[in-house]
Structure 1
Amino acid sequence: MPMLKVSKNRRHLETSSGETFFYLADTVWSAFTNISFDEWEVYLNYRKRQGFNVLQINLLQQWDASGTELNIKPFACKEDGSFQFYSRNNEYFERAEKMIELAVNKGFVPALVLLWSNYVPDTWASNIDDKNNMPLELVEEYVKYVDSKFSKYDPIYLVSGDTDFPTARSIDYYRLALNTIKQLSPHCLAAFHIRGRLMDIPEEFSNSDQVDFYMFQSGHNSEFQYMSYKLAEEFYNKPVKKPAINSEPCYEQMGYSRMKYGRYNRFDVRKAAWQSLLSGAGAGVTYGAHGIWSWHKEGKDFGLLGEAFDKPFDWRKAITFEGAWDYSFAKKIVELYKLYDLKPLDIVLKDTKEIRLAVSEQSANVAIYVPVNTVITLDQLFANYHFMVIDLENRRFADAAIMVEEGKTVIDMHLFEADVLIIGEKRA
């Protein structure tokens, strides 16, 4: 897989040869502690055929992973089960390296988390469980070791995992990790994976040229799903321009956070993706399946740490969820219509923010996400465009019925019952 870089216009990622790279990731946070090599091969082959090109993985043990029969951890354990950070298990990291080598050989870019929030003191996760806070004096040595094992594979480094930045001490950890990995391997892209609904990271990081792109997560709280477009707008309009990615929208079949009854279905997950992509986070998007990220097996335990979710599905079932194909289809649509560097526009004359619209460079293409069927009036004239409606649930195409009047464009109700993407292509 070629090395990645940020485009000159600071809106998307591209390969070293200059080809646009649409970031389509799957979250498999618990890979290194929970997945056997045989399972890993099955998983990689399946996701590769679906078109995924990035894997988001926690380098250390995921604090809310499912139980596993594998007995391999990154450090020796004390009697209470917490880590003895001064006694690293090299066998664990050697095994992880073999897994990464296999993934890279199949065409994936690893996105590796250096320090999930529970490993850093004062974060929201450490306020729940602080028994595995890594000593600050070991952070530099740990990152150097990670660099020696993994940087040869040109990964993306996610300096943080699901974090906030509540204190100077927590920032010290992330500053040290970022500076160390960038000094050792400046060719590897770096970003911060931050807590759900968080809109800001410290200015020293957002302004830093060591942080290559923004990641946010609209998350799993059922009351705040509008964050899929709200956060995209926020990061698109940051003073320091960088590509933006929704790195953790709601996961398919994930129970609502805080054990609220209900699960996110295929439509919810698809809506989060398209609302993010058309609202400023057009560099890519991440998918998640409840049972894959924690690598769950029927009969194994699943705890209530963190945000507390309902029981996951067995990974063999979760890998087949239809929403992953919807994300794969989204990548194909972006590539087919060259929906890169999209600029969000507020020209939909409707009393809702749920319908999202963006235009590509020089307004060559217009993309509109419509979650519920309705007549749409646009406060702009698109007389010289051909509009196509794409049924996102059944992946069908149909011509749109368009009227142009008094400087406005009216798109009549379409033929489908599910959510759609409407594409307007400028005629030559």
Structure 2
Amino acid sequence: MNTKPFLALWLVFFPLCFVFGQETLPRLKVSDNQRFLVTEEGNPFFWMADTAWELFHRCDREEAAHYLKKRAEQGFNVVQAVALAEIDGLNTPNPYGETPLVNNDPNQPNPAYFSHVDTILQMAAAQGIYVALLPTWGDKVFTHSWGKGPEVFTEENAMAFGYWIGNRYKDQSHIIWVIGGDRNPRAKSSDEAIWRALASGIGEGVGGHDKALMTFHPQPAGPGGSSNWFHDDDWLDFNMHQTGHCANQPTYKKISHDYALQPVKPTLDGEPLYEDHPNCFNARELGYSLPEDIRRIMYWNVFAGAFGQSYGCHDVWQMYTTEREGINGPLRPWKEALYLPMANQVKHLKNLMLSRPFLTRIPAQEMIIGTQEDNEHFVIATRDSEGSYAMIYFPTGKPLVVDSRSLTSKTLQITWYDPRTGNAIDAGFTSSAPDGEFTPPTRGKGNDWVLILDAV
């Protein structure tokens, strides 16, 4: 029996079923103090994302459902994915034999391809997951030394494609728009103009930039990330970094740089060291990433002022299977990698940050007494600007002197929070002081702890 005609009909009508009964999530917006994201009702939103760049391109509906269900169970609330994907996304079809553009022309999107995207978007919403949607990977603007491209975008067709995709998803309340895609704009090129045209087209397509929460995904850069090129652009609602895939680097400095910029905008690390990733792309000499290195980077970033944090797994972003050629040495099939340690630990960071007043949280490095080196032992602090609590992250458990006088009570409750398990240990009370020394329960690499001081 020839099933192709029935499959074609199903591809057309299945997304319509979702439209009529589609799940909706509250729209997100920037908080009044310009530091965080909140829902349209004003509730705090801690960005806890997974990078699934190839989700639309390589996964069929059953696989996408499996992935999204598991990530929702693990506490993720955002998935970062790309419409015109990285791994030969224009010429290698999706599981249903469709490519995204007719004749690789951005003026001719293929509705059959995007019906699959429609379906996965609604699957995500049904799981309570927002989608940070990249309209295209950066190699379609600038192929560089990696990526297959081809380079198909100009200012004109980027504007047109932006309008088309923005208009298509203007009623989807759970989309966050991400311009760029692992490319930094080149000097003396049209790159910046193309990305701005894409952003402008999306803004028009959705009915105004106030309806399109938007950022830009760069390569590793300095001193900032997206802020290096677009901080003053009205369409850029929050800044994003890619701090890259090396274990020992002071990522908190990049977050701190953006936190200090004017005008004030939220910031976060949208691509840190991935789980199962070769350190600095050099597995032979440096091995693969370790959970404790990933945790340290995440807590550093958030305590430095980021409004959330992205996670990634090297096997999962590319949806690696043993039947596919892996990129940069993946270690296991993606379905197995869904269960790796950090994928189950990142929720402890989200739960911790939402356990105390969120929208008044500020960096508080002034609480750390003494000089520190920028190495894996670096201790970092955050606190409530109203003085109700402070949190201090100890990456390796070394004792440290803390100035707790910024808190509003002379008596402070002490709790040690375990980032590996989410368990909290009640450690009694202490008095607010300029020079209180605190010693975490255990010490050494992999023995990271958060000291919580609550004013009582």
Equivalent residue number for residue 161 of structure 1: 181
Q: Distance in 2 between matches of 1:135 and 1:319?
A: 34
Question: Structure 2 residue aligned with 1:42, among 66, 73, 87?
Answer: 66
CA shift, 1:209, in A, is 2.6
In the alignment, is residue 119 of structure 1 matched against residue 137 of structure 2? no
Distance 1:40 1:214, change over 3 A: same
Distance 1:397 1:405, change over 3 A: closer
Q: Distance in 1 between matches of 2:294 and 2:93?
A: 27
CA shift, 1:127, in A, is 4.5
Does structure 1 retain, via aligned residues, the 8 Å contact 2:159–2:200?
no
Q: Distance in 2 between matches of 1:41 and 1:405?
A: 50
Provide, for residues 120-149 of structure 1, a one-character-per-residue CA deviation record: whole Å limited to 9, x for no partner: 13xxx5344574112313212211221232
Does structure 1 retain, via aligned residues, the 8 Å contact 2:88–2:148?
no
Q: Distance in 2 between matches of 1:51 and 1:394?
A: 14
Q: Secondary structure at the match of 1:263?
A: coil
Q: Distance in 2 between matches of 1:43 and 1:200?
A: 29
Q: Distance in 2 between matches of 1:7 and 1:398?
A: 32
In the alignment, is residue 243 of structure 1 matched against residue 266 of structure 2? yes
Equivalent residue number for residue 274 of structure 1: 299
In the alignment, is residue 421 of structure 1 matched against residue 450 of structure 2? yes
Equivalent residue number for residue 35 of structure 2: 11
Provide, for residues 303-347 of structure 1, a one-character-per-residue CA deviation record: whole Å limited to 9, x for no partner: 4xxxxx322420111111121221111111111123444322223
Equivalent residue number for residue 49 of structure 2: 25
CA shift, 1:377, in A, is 0.2
Question: Structure 2 residue aligned with 1:211, among 213, 236, 239?
Answer: 236
Q: Secondary structure at the match of 1:368?
A: strand
Q: Distance in 2 between matches of 1:218 and 1:254?
A: 14
In the alignment, is residue 234 of structure 1 matched against residue 257 of structure 2? yes
Equivalent residue number for residue 149 of structure 1: 168
Q: Secondary structure at the match of 1:207?
A: coil
Equivalent residue number for residue 150 of structure 2: 132
Equivalent residue number for residue 181 of structure 1: 202
Q: Secondary structure at the match of 2:391?
A: strand
CA shift, 1:236, in A, is 0.7
Does structure 1 retain, via aligned residues, the 8 Å contact 2:158–2:201?
no
CA shift, 1:190, in A, is 0.4
Q: Distance in 2 between matches of 1:64 and 1:254?
A: 21
Q: Distance in 2 between matches of 1:96 and 1:313?
A: 26
Q: Distance in 2 between matches of 1:290 and 1:318?
A: 9
CA shift, 1:102, in A, is 1.7
Equivalent residue number for residue 276 of structure 2: 253
In the alignment, is residue 171 of structure 1 matched against residue 200 of structure 2? no
Q: Secondary structure at the match of 2:421?
A: coil
With 53-62 and 131-140 compared, the bigger mean Cα shift is at 131-140
CA shift, 1:43, in A, is 1.3
**What is the CA RMSD across the aligned residues, in angstroms?**
2.4
Q: Distance in 2 between matches of 1:13 and 1:326?
A: 22
Q: Which structure 2 residues correspond to residues 7-406 of structure 1 after superposition, within 5 A?
A: 7-63=31-87, 70=95, 71-76=97-102, 83=104, 85=106, 88-121=109-142, 125-129=143-147, 131-136=149-154, 137-154=156-173, 155-167=175-187, 168-185=189-206, 186=209, 187-198=211-222, 199-201=224-226, 205-222=230-247, 225-227=249-251, 229-261=252-284, 262-281=287-306, 283-303=307-327, 309-346=328-365, 347-348=367-368, 349-353=370-374, 354-381=378-405, 383-400=410-427
Does structure 1 retain, via aligned residues, the 8 Å contact 2:36–2:266?
yes
TM-score by length of 1: 0.89
Q: Distance in 1 between matches of 2:161 and 2:94?
A: 26
Q: Distance in 2 between matches of 1:384 and 1:370?
A: 22
Distance 1:43 1:190, change over 3 A: same
Distance 1:8 1:246, change over 3 A: same
CA shift, 1:361, in A, is 2.4
Does structure 1 retain, via aligned residues, the 8 Å contact 2:35–2:267?
yes
Q: Distance in 2 between matches of 1:396 and 1:337?
A: 16
Higher relative contact order, chain-length normalized (CA < 8 Å, sep 6+): 1
Q: Secondary structure at the match of 1:407?
A: coil
CA shift, 1:390, in A, is 1.0
Q: Distance in 2 between matches of 1:103 and 1:171?
A: 31
* % identical equivalent positions: 22
Q: Distance in 2 between matches of 1:314 and 1:300?
A: 10
Distance 1:64 1:252, change over 3 A: farther
Distance 1:231 1:190, change over 3 A: same
TM-score by length of 2: 0.83
| Structure 2 gaps, min length 5 | 1-24
Equivalent residue number for residue 22 of structure 2: none
Equivalent residue number for residue 306 of structure 1: none
Q: Secondary structure at the match of 2:53?
A: coil
Does structure 2 retain, via aligned residues, the 8 Å contact 1:165–1:202?
no
Q: Secondary structure at the match of 1:211?
A: coil
Q: Which amino acid aligns with 2:436?
A: T
Q: Secondary structure at the match of 1:358?
A: strand
Q: Distance in 1 between matches of 2:72 and 2:329?
A: 28
Q: Distance in 2 between matches of 1:176 and 1:332?
A: 38
Provide, for residues 378-425 of structure 1, a one-character-per-residue CA deviation record: whole Å limited to 9, x for no partner: 244364221211122233322347766973222134246621111111
CA shift, 1:106, in A, is 2.2
Distance 1:328 1:68, change over 3 A: farther
Q: Which amino acid aligns with 1:180?
A: G
Q: Which amino acid aligns with 2:52?
A: V
Does structure 2 retain, via aligned residues, the 8 Å contact 1:370–1:421?
yes
Q: Secondary structure at the match of 1:362?
A: coil
| Structure 1 gaps, min length 5 | 78-82, 304-308
